[in-house]
Structure 1
Amino acid sequence: MADIFQNQLIDILPKLRVQALALTRNRTRAEDLVQDAVCNALKARDSFIPGTNFAAWMHRILRNRFISDLRRHRATTDIDTLPGDLLATKPDHEDRLAIKDLAHGLAQLPSDQREALVLVVLQGMSYQELAEVSGCAVGTAKSRVFRARRQLQTWMMGELPEDDRLREEAAALRRRLERTGARKSEEVGKGV
């Protein structure tokens, strides 16, 4: 059993790294998270039931470790930063610009949507597996992926996020009101 467990653990490492990077958005912290999750799994290997979904078990351990680390280091953890080396190369053609925009869009997504999108789209996890890993209903898992896809599509097509769009509409309305107010005071001054 130990050999099977270790082989499954080695096979899942690349997928755990992708999930960890999606959660932390920092390669160094992602590697630390994977290492900690593997240590937790090795300590708890006797609790794993052979024949059950090992990948979901490992993804759940990694996610729980991430949440525990966030709670422990809430004041010092900055999850809104992109890995510096991810965008270090200056884009010199459209593909690199699109990747940069996609990375920026992913970074703007709420963490639950970003994680769901990465696990389903990049790792090929089913909605049922995502629900198990995330500890939510299958419908919630589907909704998270749908909302993440829709929001990324909106941003990639050049539309502003909802908050920015509302700010711009409010500013435009304010400018119109100011112009209208200025015209009325000119009319009053002319005796119209």
Structure 2
Amino acid sequence: MTFHDQVIAILPKLRVQALSLTRNRAAAEDLVQDAVCNALAAQNSFIPGTNFSAWMHRILRNRFISDLRKRRETTDIDDVPASSFASPATHEDNLALKDLSMALSRLPADQREALVMVVIQGMSYEALAEATDCAVGTAKSRVFRARRQLEAWMSGDLPANDKLRIKVKALRDAMDARRRAGQSSDDLMLS
């Protein structure tokens, strides 16, 4: 398989990784495009017979980190309006997906990235370790800790002082009360 064929074959996995890093479809596409450009420019440095997937994932991750360093833009979660975290849900499945999405976004970036690469993309721990420049044990630990933390958050097994959990519970209770009273709860999502 030629170098270009390998690049084309790995694009879907790069898109998934980029989306897990950026959490924005347009930014993810830009990141993939930049990573592919970097890979094409560094094509001669790739050693045939080595793990092409790990090499590409590392290029994408390094490009993401470089872009972050250039921007250095941060936002405190308390400064973001609640409406950006929730939208009117009509089914319990939508609520569960939102809970999962919120829980995933709360994971540390290294754990989220490791979980997505292993669980969603099916990458081996060895390939993950190579792509993220860490030991295999560290890669396994990141996935384990991410799974354990998600399980705790999704089962409601959280500390009593967890501000986000308290806010979400209050919002759900208010929505349920309005539904029982036959009132719309759309305005709650806007506040």
The verdict on a shared fold, with TM-score over 0.5 as the criterion, is yes
Q: In the TM superposition, what is the alpha-carbon distance from 1:121 to its structure 2 partner?
A: 0.1
Q: How does 1:83-102 map to 2 (within 5 A)?
A: 90-102=88-100
Cα distance change of structure 1 residues 50 and 162 upon mapping to structure 2, 3 Å threshold: farther
**1-side partners of 2:63 and 2:161: how far apart?**
32
Q: What residue is the counterpart of 1:7 in the other structure?
A: 5
Greater Rg, structure 1 or structure 2? 1
- Between 92-101 and 113-122, report the one with greater CA deviation: 92-101
User: Which of 44, 49, 52 is 2:50 aligned to?
Assistant: 52
Q: In the TM superposition, what is the alpha-carbon distance from 1:87 to its structure 2 partner?
A: 6.7
Question: Residue 131 of structure 1 contacts residue 138 of structure 1 at CA under 8 Å; is this kept in 2?
Answer: yes
RMSD over aligned Cα atoms: 2.6
Q: What residue is the counterpart of 2:181 in the other structure?
A: none
Deviations 1:140-170 (A, max 9, x none): 11110001000100111112258628xx9xx
Q: What residue is the counterpart of 1:103 in the other structure?
A: 101
Q: What residue is the counterpart of 1:20 in the other structure?
A: 18
Letter in 2 for 1:145: V
Cα distance change of structure 1 residues 123 and 163 upon mapping to structure 2, 3 Å threshold: farther
User: Which of 24, 30, 33 is 1:32 aligned to?
Assistant: 30
Unaligned runs of 5+ in 2: 167-191
**2-side partners of 1:157 and 1:24: how far apart?**
26
SS at match of 1:136: coil
**2-side partners of 1:104 and 1:157: how far apart?**
14
Identity %: 68
Q: What residue is the counterpart of 1:43 in the other structure?
A: 41
Unaligned runs of 5+ in 1: 169-192
Q: In the TM superposition, what is the alpha-carbon distance from 1:9 to its structure 2 partner?
A: 0.6
Letter in 1 for 2:148: R
Q: What residue is the counterpart of 1:184 in the other structure?
A: none
Cα distance change of structure 1 residues 30 and 85 upon mapping to structure 2, 3 Å threshold: farther
* TM-score for both structures, normalised by structure 1: 0.76
The size of the alignment, in residue pairs, is 160
* TM-score for both structures, normalised by structure 2: 0.76
Q: What residue is the counterpart of 1:183 in the other structure?
A: none
